[in-house]
Each structure stands twice: as structure tokens, then as C-alpha cells.
Structure 1
Amino acid sequence: MTFAFTLPTTSPASFAASFSSSSAPSLPSAASTRRAVYRDSLKRHKRLSPSEQTNGISSLQTTIDEYLPYLHTLDAYKTSQDVIQSSDFETEWRATLSRRSGPAEAPRVRRKGLEYEICFATATLAYTHALRARSFIQAALQSPPSDSSSTSSSEHMINQATQHMTTAASIYLFLQNRATAGERLTQQMPPDVTSSMYNALWSLSLASATLLAVLKQDPFPSIIAIQNDKNSKEWMYKAPTVPNSVKSKLLARLCMYSADMASKAAAGVAATPGSSPALQSYCGDLVKTAKAKACRFLGVDAEVSGKLGEAIGWLLAGKEILGMISAIDEDKGTLSRGLDKLKKAREERKIEKSHPEGLIAQDAGKTEEAMVLNELEKKWRKINDSVNFETIPPTSSLIAMLPRGRPIFPENQIWTPPKLSSSELVQLQNQAPNDGETDWLRADDSDDDITPVAESSVPGGFPRSQSTGYY
């Protein structure tokens, strides 16, 4: 439910060589020092294995939080004429959201101006919030509940993941407004720092945050995980509570809002020339997952209301949205119906044989949702074929009845850039600038291309888990 961003790396740069300040003489050199530490942390993080990166993302985020106040204070002083630019300031960043040529790494793009640095450095903070959300989701999924305390802990971790995604959304909204209002980026820029990309990432973050809020109230992934885990003893404890009719309708509307926002994100990425196809594909998968979840909750609502045939129809509509099977056409001949059943059975066996770790990491949760739909359909069809004998409505009529989405988080929450405190500014005003820079500040970045041997991982969707439990 959160995209697995690849963090960019950057070249060495010195603010002191391009900027000077009369009110805070040591501000440019102090910003250069903080940036060097930040750059070194990004390089070290890139060389770690995926599991080590997950554990170290919190430390990296702390380093970013320590650098950004200096950067945004320098920008504020420049705007107020307290900082004078004496020469061109130029930096190079690896554009990780740009289209790649073959298996090669994302291109490195060098551009002039302080705005370029602000956009990339601040957006990287949003990426780390999304990655921290993934780490919290992973922790929640690895600890299936066996008592009330475990359940509370999992819900707390999902809440933390949701907060990180809403924070990321507010950062993207800040960058979008800055890019739109200021129009400071006059050069041709990589897709990563364009207004359309920020708008797409803002929509994607809100879509992910909304689905995380639904996940906390959704018992079915946990039920299916317990049923398919031969080593699980969760059935001996308290069974998850199935949502009632009213709650199911609300969750369906939240899922539809997530689908709408993910659709906007997919359109925004597609409208950004040179953007990453992987990101666009992920947005499209998230649209399907969210709509399929909405169909499932509407099916639960119908089943609770005693309309079992309609409930099964909603499950088939969800599977059709996921692209698993075509709608069942009762007018087909016997041979065609037999081929449809054979195709359906083959898809179900493929999902059931999938390794649990793979289910948690694929396609924005598409496979996981397909597994839930399959299990519910088996259960409800067995009852309907032996007791109810209700007619299953066509999926086309049900899909046309999908409700409008309902937001749960504010859309106008904008991140406030951090600035240095008054005491820190006083210290910089009284401190002489450091004209000499050490070798590590001007260090060569030729080893930036060194990457570790990656563990099996799929960008986007759920992070891989060591357990079959969902939460």
C-alpha cells in the first residue's frame, strides 16, 4: 500500500562558495557541513542491503531533519536579502523517479540554483516517510494478534504508518504549491521536481493513507491468512469481528476515495514526460486494489442483509476489476462455461500456491485481495448452491452501482518547512565563517554507483514479511 521509493544520492556542494551573509556569517558554511553529513548518509544507506535499509531509515530521516532547517533558513535569508549570492550554485542529484534506459541506474542530473537543492532534499524527506510507513506495516504484518495487547500494538503500528503517509502528502503539497506559485525552476528539470509529479505523489500518498485506515478495520486479510497458515493457532483465540452492514458501506466509500486519488496519481505520472513506468504501473495497480476492496465490502453488506446472490456478484465484480476472470455470461454454451470454470480454477490454484512472502509484496496488494475474494466466494457459493439458490446479478450492473468516495484525511494540510531557532541563529551570528573545507566535504562521489546485492523485493505494495500473518 506504499510505494518502495529508491532514495536519490547527490554530489558534493558548498554553499559557502556561492553565498555570503552579513547577519549570519557562518550560516553558509554550517549549511555546507550539514549537507555533507546528509549526503554521506544517503550514500551509506544506498550500500546497505534491503533489510538493513529498513532498519536504518529512521536514522537517515534524523539526518535529513537536521539538514533541512539550515537549507530553508538560507533560502529565507536569501529572499529577505540577508544572504547574497556571489556565484552560481550547482548540484547534481540522481533522479530516481525518471525513466531508466535498460537495467542501468536512474540518471544523474546537474542543475543550477538553490531551488533545485530545496526540491530534491525536501522531497527525499517525503520518500523516507513513505519508507518508514512500509517498515511499520511490515512490523504489524509480522505479528498476528493472539491477544488484545498484540492487537493494540498492531493497530498502533498501522496508525504510525498512516501518520507517516499523511506527513508525506503534506510535504508534496508544499512542494507543489512552491513550484506552482514561485515558478523558480526556469531550466528544464527532471520529472522528480515538477509540479505534476508532486501533485501525483500527493494524490498517491493520500490514497495509501486512506487504505491504511481501512486496513485497521478490515478483518478479512487476517482471517484468510490464518486459514492458509498450517502452523497458525490463531483460531484457538478470539476470532476477528466481521464488519456490520453500516461499517461495510463506509469502508467501501473510503476505498473508492482511495481509488479516485490513485487514479489521479496515475494520470499525473503519465502526464509527466520521462517519468518512471514502475511508478505509473503501481498507481494503476492501487486503483484496481482499492476498487476490488470496495466491491468486497459491498458484498459483505449484501451478505449481512441476506442477499447472498448479490454478495457473490460483488465478489465476481472485484475479481473482474483485478483482471482475474471475465464476468460469467449465462448465455454461453456448455463448452464455454466449462472453459471459464477451468480458467478460474487455474487462477485460484496459482494464488493458493503463491508463497506468503510474495503475497505481501506484489502489485499494491492485488494478489492479496484476490486471495480474500477467492476464499469468500468459495464460502458463499457453497451456501448459495446448497441452501439459498439465489440468482447472481451480472457484474456490469453492480460495477455501475459503485458509490462515490469519501475522504477521511484533510486535503489541504501543508507541511511547514523547518527553520533554525533564534538561539541557533544567534550562535551563527557570533561565529566566524569557516573558509577552509575539509577533504570529506569535497570528497569525490565516484563510488556513488556502488550498489549492494539486492534481496528479493518488489517495488510498491506490501513489504515482504517473515510471517503469513497480516496483523
Structure 2
Amino acid sequence: MTFAFTLPTTSPVNFTTSFASSSAPSLPSAATTRRALLRDTLKRYKRLTPTEQYNNLPSLLSSISEYLPYLYTLDAYITSQDITPLIEFETEWRAVLSRRTVPTELPRIRRKGLDYEICFATTTLAYVHTLRARTFLASAIRAPPPTDNNATNTSVHLINQAKDQILTAASIFLYLQNRSTTKERDSSQTMPADVTTSIYNALWSLCLASATLLAVLKDDPYPSIVALQHDKNSKEWMYKAPTVPTRVRSLLLARLCMYSADMAGKAAAGVAAAPGSGAELKGYCDDMAKTAKAKACRFQGIDAEGQGKVGEAIGWVLAGKEVLGMVVSGDGDKGKLGRGIDMLKKAREERKMEKVPMEALLGPDAGKTEEAMVLNELERRWRRINDSVNFHNVPSTSSLLARLPTGRPMFPENQTWTPPKLSSSELSQLQTQAPNGGELDWIGADDSDDDIMPAPESSMPPGGFPRSQSTGYY
């Protein structure tokens, strides 16, 4: 339910060769030192295994958070003309969202101007917050079964933490989007897709879509019901019956899912509009839009089943499967062909789950496979009831899809991130200290492009819905 961004790496930079300040003489050298630490942390992170990367995110977040106040203070000093430019500043970053033209890793892209550095460094901060959300989701998967209120609250707390991380990333992308539209850029040089307005708008929309689905996840018992049915070691069914949403909650959750689908669709359009963007992120946005819309169909079906309209409930399930691109047969054979193909897909995915460690159980398709499993279980249950008791007609999926409700936002869309600045005491120290001069030569000593990601210890797909055989909210 969160995209697994690849973090960029960068070349060394010495701000003292490009900027000088009479009011804060140590600011360029201090910014250079903090940036060198961030660069080293990013390179070390990329060489780690996927499991080690999860554990290293707090350290990486700390390195970025320590560097950005110096960077934004330097930018503010340039704006106020308290810093004198010496030579034109240049920096290079690896563009991780750009289109791949060769199978090897994308090269670093060098551009002029401090704004290029600010955009990439701040974007990296948003990526880290998104990856932190994935760690909280993975922890929620590993949480013990909710045998008591404490276990249940643990899962909810972890999901809330993941949601907060995603909303923080959304506010950062919104800030970068606003900055890119107001900050004057050099029109003579083209920017990589990673730092374009279209990508920022797309990532902001994607984060809001992800946060909304996380909020829905807390009140959605059906993924955990399916997980229980496919977990051979679970005994939760003996002592705890799942809570099924009431009619009002089902309709509310359907509207939230439709909002998430709309935002994910906007994200896909934004990625497509960014020149040179890769297909991986767009495919993920498309998958999330389909997953969210299929969830809305399922909640509509739950509401219909609660009113005794089992035939309509089955129709909503079929509509959800149609949205996901699954095979849906005609009414004559009651979908046997479609269910047979779905069972093969489900068996294949379950075999994959058994081989993948818990740390890597985050699907690459934004939850499409898991939602398909839930829809299959509901269709099987409701068809059995309808074939033996109700004998209701199943309406066409086209007529039901036309009745989907409009989306409803859950979180404010105008919350923007505030760039950090150095405090008065920190600025006072920089104003009294002398610049380091040549003592920073060590920073550019190692400019090797050796930040190649090692072979993963297990499959680490680029984001998605957590896949687990454990219980809880999954």
C-alpha cells in the first residue's frame, strides 16, 4: 500500500568553492560537512541487504534532517544577498524515477543551481518517510493475533504510524510542487523526471490515496478473515469472531475507497505527463486505483448483503473482479470458469508467500492480489447462500458500476511542509567561527560510483499491500 522508492545517491560537493559569506563565514563549510555525512549514509544504505535497509532508515532520516536546515538556511542567505556566489554551483544526483533505456543502473545527472540540490535532497526525505511507513506496516504484519485489546491496539497503532509517515511525505511533495511552480528555473537545462512539477503532483496524490486506504484498512476485517482461512497455524477462529462493518460504515468506507481510486488515477496521469518518467511508478498507481475501486465495490456488496440482497451483493463482487481485470464469466455457468482461473492465481501467490520472509511480504501490485482473494471468498460464500436459499437474480456489472458513490476525502489536502532552518543559537556560532577552508578536501576524495545495490536476500517488490499469513488486520 506504499511504494518502495529506491533512494538516490549523489556525488560529493564543497559549498565553500561556490559560496562565501561575511555574515556567517562558517555556513558553507558546515553545510558541506553535513552533506558529506548524508552522502556517505546513502551509499552505505544502498549496499545493505533489504532487511538491513529497514533497520537503517532511522539513521538515514536523522542524517537528512541534520543536513536540510543548513541547506535551506544557505538558500535563504542567497535570497537575502548575505552570501556572495563565487562560481556557479553544480551538483549531481541519481534519478531513480526516470525511464530506463539500458538494463544497467541509471547514471547520476549533473545540473546547475542550488535549487536542484534542494529538490533532490528534500525529495529523498519524502522517500524515507514513505519507506518508514512500510516498516510500520511490516511490523503490523508481524504483530501477534489480537487475542486481547492490547494486541488489537498494537496493530492499529502501527497502522496509524504508517499513515502519519505517508501524510508527512504528502506534505513534503506538496511543498515541492508549490516551490517548483514559483521558483524560477534555468530554462536552458532540462530537469530529470524526479524533480518536475508533474511528478511532485503525482506523488502527493499517491500519498493521499495510500493514507486513505490505510485508514480504511483499520476498519476492514475481510483481509484478516481471508488470512485466517489460509493460515494453517491460526486458531483465532476458535475464540474471536470477526467484526463485519455495519451498513453506514460500509457506505462510508466505499466513499473513502473511491476517493483513493480518484487520487491514484490522478497520480498515474501525473506520472505519464512527466517527460522521461519510468513505467514502474505509473503501473503501481494504476494498480492502486483498481484496488481501491474494487474495494469500494466490495463494501457496496457488503451493504447489499446486509439488506438481504444477496444477488446484488454477488453482482458487486463480480464488478470488483472486473475492475481488477479478472475473468468474470456469464450468469449461465455462475462464474465457474472465472473462479477456476482465480483459484490457480491464488494458489500461485500463496506458494510465493511461503517462500518469502516476513520482512519482504509487501506486494508489488498495491493489494490487487489480496483484494482478489477477498472477492473470491465472498463470491463463494454468497453464491452458496443464493443457490440454496434466495435464488436472487444477479444484476449486470455495468449497471452496478454506474452506481458507485463519489469519493470523500478524509485528510486535508492543503497541509504543506515547512522547510527547517537553523536556530538563532546555531547561526550565532556560524557567524563567529572561521571557515574551515582546505580542511574539507577529504570530502571529495572518494568520488567512486560504487553505490551499486547488492543482490537482494529475497524478493523485495516495489511497494504494495502487505502479504501475510499472520492474523491481525491483514
Q: TM-score range by the shorter chain?
A: over 0.9
SS in 1 for 2:15: coil
Moved more, 262-271 or 348-357: 348-357
SS in 2 for 1:346: helix
Report the identity percentage: 69
Please list the CA deviations of residues 34-77 of structure 1 after superposition, one character each: whole Å capped at 9, or x if unmatched. Answer: 00000000000000011111111111011100000000010011
Cα deviation for residue 448 of structure 1 reads 3.0
Aligned residues: 464
SS in 1 for 2:111: strand
In structure 2, the residue matched to 1:149 is 150
Task: Say whether 1:27 aligns with 2:22.
Answer: no
Moved more, 408-417 or 229-238: 229-238
Unmatched segments (≥5 aa) in structure 1: 331-336
Cα deviation for residue 452 of structure 1 reads 1.1
SS in 1 for 2:20: strand
In structure 2, the residue matched to 1:113 is 113
In structure 1, the residue matched to 2:184 is 183
Cα deviation for residue 233 of structure 1 reads 1.2
**1:376-455 equivalent positions in 2, closer than 5 A:** 376-454=378-456, 455=458
**1:257-296 equivalent positions in 2, closer than 5 A:** 257-296=259-298
Distance in 1 between residues matched to 2:107 and 2:147, nearest whole Å: 47
Please list the CA deviations of residues 322-343 of structure 1 after superposition, one character each: whole Å capped at 9, or x if unmatched. Answer: 011136255xxxxxx49x6234
Asked whether the equivalents of residues 147 and 237 of structure 1 are also in contact (C-alpha less than 8 Å), the reply is no
**1:84-123 equivalent positions in 2, closer than 5 A:** 84-123=84-123
Asked whether the equivalents of residues 142 and 470 of structure 1 are also in contact (C-alpha less than 8 Å), the reply is no
Q: In angstroms, what is the RMSD of aligned CA positions? A: 1.6
Letter aligned with residue 19 of structure 2: F
Letter aligned with residue 462 of structure 1: F
Match of 1:349 among 344, 348, 351: 344
In structure 2, the residue matched to 1:334 is none
Distance in 2 between residues matched to 1:465 and 1:385, nearest whole Å: 32
Letter aligned with residue 291 of structure 1: K
SS in 2 for 1:100: coil
Asked whether the equivalents of residues 100 and 107 of structure 1 are also in contact (C-alpha less than 8 Å), the reply is no
Letter aligned with residue 456 of structure 1: S
Distance 1:310 1:463, change over 3 A: closer
Match of 1:215 among 217, 228, 249: 217
Task: Say whether 1:458 aligns with 2:458.
Answer: no
Cα deviation for residue 463 of structure 1 reads 5.0
In structure 2, the residue matched to 1:6 is 6
Asked whether the equivalents of residues 193 and 276 of structure 2 are also in contact (C-alpha less than 8 Å), the reply is yes
Cα deviation for residue 164 of structure 1 reads 0.6
Distance in 2 between residues matched to 1:419 and 1:368, nearest whole Å: 43
Letter aligned with residue 11 of structure 1: S
Distance in 1 between residues matched to 2:201 and 2:60, nearest whole Å: 25
Distance in 1 between residues matched to 2:105 and 2:367, nearest whole Å: 26
Letter aligned with residue 33 of structure 2: T
Cα deviation for residue 301 of structure 1 reads 0.6
In structure 2, the residue matched to 1:45 is 45
Cα deviation for residue 239 of structure 1 reads 2.1
Cα deviation for residue 439 of structure 1 reads 5.0
Letter aligned with residue 148 of structure 2: D
Distance in 2 between residues matched to 1:8 and 1:283, nearest whole Å: 21
Letter aligned with residue 342 of structure 2: E
Asked whether the equivalents of residues 91 and 111 of structure 1 are also in contact (C-alpha less than 8 Å), the reply is yes
SS in 2 for 1:363: coil
Distance 1:120 1:185, change over 3 A: farther
Query: TM-score, normalization: structure 2?
Result: 0.95
SS in 1 for 2:349: coil
Asked whether the equivalents of residues 327 and 341 of structure 2 are also in contact (C-alpha less than 8 Å), the reply is no
Moved more, 180-189 or 161-170: 180-189
Cα deviation for residue 147 of structure 1 reads 1.8
Please list the CA deviations of residues 116-164 of structure 1 after superposition, one character each: whole Å capped at 9, or x if unmatched. Answer: 0000000000000100001101110122322211110110010000001
Cα deviation for residue 21 of structure 1 reads 1.1
SS in 2 for 1:221: helix
Letter aligned with residue 404 of structure 2: L
Query: TM-score, normalization: structure 1?
Result: 0.95
Distance 1:306 1:177, change over 3 A: same
Asked whether the equivalents of residues 2 and 133 of structure 2 are also in contact (C-alpha less than 8 Å), the reply is yes
Unmatched segments (≥5 aa) in structure 2: none
Distance 1:81 1:327, change over 3 A: farther
Asked whether the equivalents of residues 316 and 327 of structure 1 are also in contact (C-alpha less than 8 Å), the reply is no
Asked whether the equivalents of residues 327 and 394 of structure 1 are also in contact (C-alpha less than 8 Å), the reply is no
Asked whether the equivalents of residues 231 and 470 of structure 2 are also in contact (C-alpha less than 8 Å), the reply is no
Asked whether the equivalents of residues 134 and 462 of structure 1 are also in contact (C-alpha less than 8 Å), the reply is no
Distance in 1 between residues matched to 2:75 and 2:383, nearest whole Å: 63
Cα deviation for residue 101 of structure 1 reads 2.1
Letter aligned with residue 301 of structure 1: D
**1:322-333 equivalent positions in 2, closer than 5 A:** 322-326=324-328, 328=330, 330=332
Moved more, 79-88 or 359-368: 359-368
Cα deviation for residue 16 of structure 1 reads 0.8
Distance in 2 between residues matched to 1:183 and 1:374, nearest whole Å: 52
Letter aligned with residue 255 of structure 2: R
Task: Say whether 1:161 aligns with 2:162.
Answer: yes
Letter aligned with residue 172 of structure 1: F
Distance 1:469 1:351, change over 3 A: farther
Cα deviation for residue 19 of structure 1 reads 0.5
Please list the CA deviations of residues 208-245 of structure 1 after superposition, one character each: whole Å capped at 9, or x if unmatched. Answer: 01000001111110111011111111112322211100
Letter aligned with residue 60 of structure 2: L
Please list the CA deviations of residues 190-213 of structure 1 after superposition, one character each: whole Å capped at 9, or x if unmatched. Answer: 000001110000000100010000
Letter aligned with residue 446 of structure 2: D
In structure 2, the residue matched to 1:80 is 80
